[in-house]
Structure 1
Amino acid sequence: MRNRKLYAGAKLREMRTRLALTQKDFAAKLGVSLPYLNQMENNNRPVSTTVVLALAQEFGMDVTELSSGDSERMVSDMREALADPVFADAMPPLADLRLAASNAPALARAFLELHRSYRQSHERLASLDEALGREDARIQASPWDEVRDFFHYCDNYIDAVDRAAERFAGGPATGVEPVRQAALAQLSDRGIEVQTADMAPLRLYDPDSRVLRLSARVPPETQLFQMLLQVALLRQDALLEATLDFARFQSEEARAIAKIGLANYYAGAAMMPYGAFLAAAQDHRHDLERLSLEFGASIEQVAHRLSTLQRPGAKGVPFFFARVDQAGTITKRHSATRLQFARFGGACPLWNVHRAFETPGRFLRQLAETPDGVRYVNLARDVSKPGGSWGAPVRRYAIALGCEVRHAGSLVYADNLDIDNANAYEPIGISCRICERRDCHQRSVPPLERRLTVEANERGILPYRVG
């Protein structure tokens, strides 16, 4: 496993600015010279162990924040964007990408936004005949992608919303029924009646009659989630709107999608309040089934919630979480680990998540290693969702949940896995265009950064050799 020096200049500058300290005063408190601090803030020097300890002792900083956040995400996203054929052989060295992400994050984000706009324009132009026939034809960034990136770069943790949901749930001593009763009480206070009905929509609220109808075709955990979502929209509107103002979305569509996303976040955090859920996750060693029973949530809801436990000063195990459809397209993604998902297209076919469709109702375990040498414990399971009636379509998905192998002792699913055996780890990647593996038998396209050798008189697994 490769060890990299810790460069966190942007984090240091951000903290100093927040504390309203001059470089001279900040350097004195950290016990370093002014030139040394200046070099660290400009990423000319790595953050030393002495400084890390001083940050924790003097300022109470959660030092894990120094190595997390936007930097690795932006590096991964830039590598994928630069793998676009439009850049041909223009891929900068990885060191340059890390430097840009650390020293000029605003510029890196602007580049990613520009590339996303290019892709949107390219896709719209590809169907120009159809687009020109519509009055609303216009080229703009996808509001869905804009919202997804908002949560992505917030570490999928929204502190104000999370804490509000925890207060609603009543603190550490919670349960399914108290949360349900609290939701009913808040709706009743507004004169809203809750009914169940045999209907296809999961939730239907009529402001005129003040009746909230929940589908009788879905399980209790889905009904509770939808009820809490409506509570968020009605009782936490000011908080949601303030968060949306902070995000500064480019379109009303993106803002509307994000508001539903925040309401969903509130619902999940109310069902599984942070303190109680974190304690239970640690006690049960992240057993998804036990957590599902204890909090009255679905397996997918539990897995997703585990990936959000990134509260400063009280962080859980950093997980990645993804949901894929049968075509392999990622429909939900988040990573608090160094592993970052492809922004476009599907997931690596070597991930065990694709095999989950073959074994419905079972958890699949996998030891995996990414090209950067980091090893993970992966868990996959199908989460197909019946339509609730004969002939109704079944939505088929599979979820992936994983963490770095150094956290294996905290996972019940890692028991009896041969984590010390290097041969037990399957090689996985992110996207074929940026994957550095030369001998992958599932490669769909060549890596952009490598030269190819094509030999007419030789045919291996691939029709070319990666140089």
Structure 2
Amino acid sequence: MAENKIFAGPRVRRIRNAQGLTQTAMAEALSISPSYLNLIERNQRPLTVQLLLKLASVYKLDLDELRGETSDNIAELRAMFSDPLLSGELPGDQELIEVAEAAPNVASGILKLYRAYREQSSRLKDLSGLLAEEGHVTALSGARLPVDEVRDVFETRPNYFEDIEIAAEAFHATLAPSDDLGGTLKEWLRKTHGMSVRILPVHVMPDLRRRFDRHSMRLFLSERLSLQDQLREIAMEAAQIAFHEALAKELDRLSLSTGEARRIARFELARYAALALMMPYGAFLSAAQRLKYDLSALAARFRVSFEQAASRLISLQRPGAATVPFFLMEIDSAGNRLRLSGAQGFPKARFGGSCPKLNVYSAFAQPGQVLAERADIFGGGGFLVVSRTVEGPQAGFGERVRRTAMLVGCDASHQAETVYGESPLTTVAAGTACRLCERQGCLARAEPPVTRPLGLDEMVTGFSAFDFQ
């Protein structure tokens, strides 16, 4: 019977290099000559079945290591070379297969470099769009990342998902939890799906907030999470099981273009579903109206964090049972905007959110304090803005605390409906962004407006770093 022959020279060479062996040493162990091994590594001689078994026996190898795992690399390389920049370089897939087979580490390195190139292109496109919005014309362009597509969708649409809300209320009613929703959810997971929840110490799970082990059916949570965040993780797991169909329907309605974008959006919808389960729509709406949207009181009433209560508040837009259309922005101490969302979409055009005079940027100097004021936006109207810092996972000794700041706002016409409008508020004159704001004499101005020439006068200067006519 003819022997089955396998040409796998590059993989044999990788195994030898991984073992730190010379060709002579490996050939001796395999009972073949060094010259024969050299021919094998150059794909000029095949690996017979007998030699394949000898390799597996001597070096304790899984035969899959010799079969190769290059299909993923080939698919990614094919996608890379479909880029208009490279589309004319290859006549077919054979060269891709040869590269992936002969040098998989090189192929992986090329793919990492291409991903970095695409990310930089995306950032340049973002910069191009920003400059164009502020009056500059640029020729920069590039592909957007899946996360940018998801952010655009969630920032511009109302933060309300009807199917998830209905499913969450129905599921909450069947659970009939008392004061311990977390305990009720754990019991439901155990009884219906044989799933247990364990809290792991930092040294066991130092870099993860959660991990689900499908083999043992255990959900592991980090002890660094607050009790409220642990509850959200448990609620997310239950929501993805209990109303999977509702999540799938809402995900399909977003019409995202890639699988990666869908995975990111599915996670965001699961977070939304968890909050809907922790704070059922009807009960939360009723409490919010009675408490006049006092976020601290709402957090205490539902045993959630300030951040969770704020995130839930901007979703109260059910037809026939809507409330004040709040919006939300979260930033870090460097001013990076991490999240924008709103009951009717985030009002970028009217509110912006980039003005350093807003109290969300001052919140870091007063951690844990709720700051409320009226912001009169140049050309955009007035807004009630409420800001507070929120803490991330518990930091260990020597680690920097993760602290962000959240701003919850609404049109100033609703100010009297809230607890924050019961006493006189400080009014701050702000703008959407320095490049678009023509407010004169602003001490916080960081850039000149694109609509006005600079007023360069050797005899007279104002307090602003950029005086203009």
What range is the shorter-chain TM-score in? 0.5 to 0.7
Does the 8 Å contact 1:187/1:231 carry over to 2? no
Cα 1:429–1:176 shift into 2, 3 Å: farther
- What residue in structure 1 maps to residue 133 of structure 2? 83
- Structure 2 CA distance for aligned equivalents of residues 149 and 339 of structure 1: 10
- What residue in structure 1 maps to residue 370 of structure 2? 363
1:353, distance to aligned residue in structure 2 (A): 0.8
Helix, strand or coil: the match of 2:391? coil
Cα 1:181–1:340 shift into 2, 3 Å: same
Does the 8 Å contact 1:455/1:464 carry over to 2? no
1:314, distance to aligned residue in structure 2 (A): 0.9
The one of 423, 445, 448 aligned to 2:447: 445
1:199-237 per-residue CA deviation (whole Å, 9 max, x = no partner) reads 342211011111111222222111110011112333333
Helix, strand or coil: the match of 1:355? helix
- What residue in structure 2 maps to residue 244 of structure 1? 251
- Structure 1 CA distance for aligned equivalents of residues 379 and 345 of structure 2: 10
- What residue in structure 2 maps to residue 466 of structure 1? 468
1:233 to 2:283 alignment: no
- What residue in structure 1 maps to residue 172 of structure 2? 169
- Structure 1 CA distance for aligned equivalents of residues 250 and 468 of structure 2: 47
Cα 1:296–1:317 shift into 2, 3 Å: same
Counterpart amino acid of residue 450 in structure 1 = R
After TM superposition, the structure 1 stretch with the greater mean CA deviation from structure 2, 223-232 or 397-406, is 397-406
Helix, strand or coil: the match of 1:196? strand
- Structure 2 CA distance for aligned equivalents of residues 151 and 180 of structure 1: 32
Q: How does 1:19-34 map to 2 (within 5 A)?
A: none
Cα 1:330–1:434 shift into 2, 3 Å: same
Q: How does 1:389-428 map to 2 (within 5 A)?
A: 389-417=396-424, 424-428=426-430
Cα 1:176–1:455 shift into 2, 3 Å: farther
Q: How does 1:91-130 map to 2 (within 5 A)?
A: 121=142
- What residue in structure 1 maps to residue 200 of structure 2? 197
Larger Rg: 2
After TM superposition, the structure 1 stretch with the greater mean CA deviation from structure 2, 373-382 or 168-177, is 168-177
Does the 8 Å contact 2:447/2:466 carry over to 1? no
1:323 to 2:330 alignment: yes
1:292, distance to aligned residue in structure 2 (A): 1.0
Does the 8 Å contact 2:367/2:389 carry over to 1? yes
- Structure 2 CA distance for aligned equivalents of residues 387 and 120 of structure 1: 40
Helix, strand or coil: the match of 1:170? helix
Structure 2: segments with no counterpart, 5+ residues: 1-127
1:271 to 2:278 alignment: yes
- Structure 2 CA distance for aligned equivalents of residues 363 and 206 of structure 1: 40
1:155, distance to aligned residue in structure 2 (A): 0.8
Does the 8 Å contact 1:337/1:404 carry over to 2? no
1:274, distance to aligned residue in structure 2 (A): 0.8
- Structure 2 CA distance for aligned equivalents of residues 464 and 216 of structure 1: 50
Structure 1: segments with no counterpart, 5+ residues: 1-77, 89-117, 122-139, 419-423
1:391, distance to aligned residue in structure 2 (A): 3.1
Cα 1:339–1:227 shift into 2, 3 Å: closer
- Structure 1 CA distance for aligned equivalents of residues 135 and 268 of structure 2: 33
Helix, strand or coil: the match of 1:427? strand
1:32-64 per-residue CA deviation (whole Å, 9 max, x = no partner) reads xxxxxxxxxxxxxxxxxxxxxxxxxxxxxxxxx
The one of 213, 219, 222 aligned to 1:212: 219
- Structure 1 CA distance for aligned equivalents of residues 333 and 378 of structure 2: 25
Cα 1:378–1:79 shift into 2, 3 Å: farther
- What residue in structure 1 maps to residue 355 of structure 2? 348
* Cα RMSD for the two superposed structures: 2.9
1:147 to 2:157 alignment: no
Cα 1:168–1:336 shift into 2, 3 Å: same
1:186, distance to aligned residue in structure 2 (A): 3.8
Cα 1:371–1:187 shift into 2, 3 Å: farther
Taking structure 2 as the reference length, the TM-score comes to 0.66
Does the 8 Å contact 1:79/1:434 carry over to 2? no
Cα 1:300–1:463 shift into 2, 3 Å: closer
The percent of aligned pairs where both chains have the same amino acid is: 34
- Structure 2 CA distance for aligned equivalents of residues 242 and 338 of structure 1: 20
Does the 8 Å contact 1:367/1:426 carry over to 2? yes
1:176, distance to aligned residue in structure 2 (A): 4.6
Does the 8 Å contact 1:269/1:305 carry over to 2? yes
1:83, distance to aligned residue in structure 2 (A): 2.3
Helix, strand or coil: the match of 1:380? strand
- What residue in structure 1 maps to residue 76 of structure 2? none
Helix, strand or coil: the match of 1:460? coil
Does the 8 Å contact 1:151/1:157 carry over to 2? no
- Structure 2 CA distance for aligned equivalents of residues 205 and 297 of structure 1: 23
Counterpart amino acid of residue 463 in structure 2 = I
- Structure 2 CA distance for aligned equivalents of residues 204 and 338 of structure 1: 32
The one of 333, 344, 365 aligned to 2:340: 333
Does the 8 Å contact 1:233/1:263 carry over to 2? yes
Counterpart amino acid of residue 351 in structure 1 = L
Where relative contact order (Cα < 8 A, 6+ residues apart) is larger, the structure is 1
- Structure 2 CA distance for aligned equivalents of residues 225 and 277 of structure 1: 16
Helix, strand or coil: the match of 1:390? coil
- What residue in structure 2 maps to residue 66 of structure 1? none
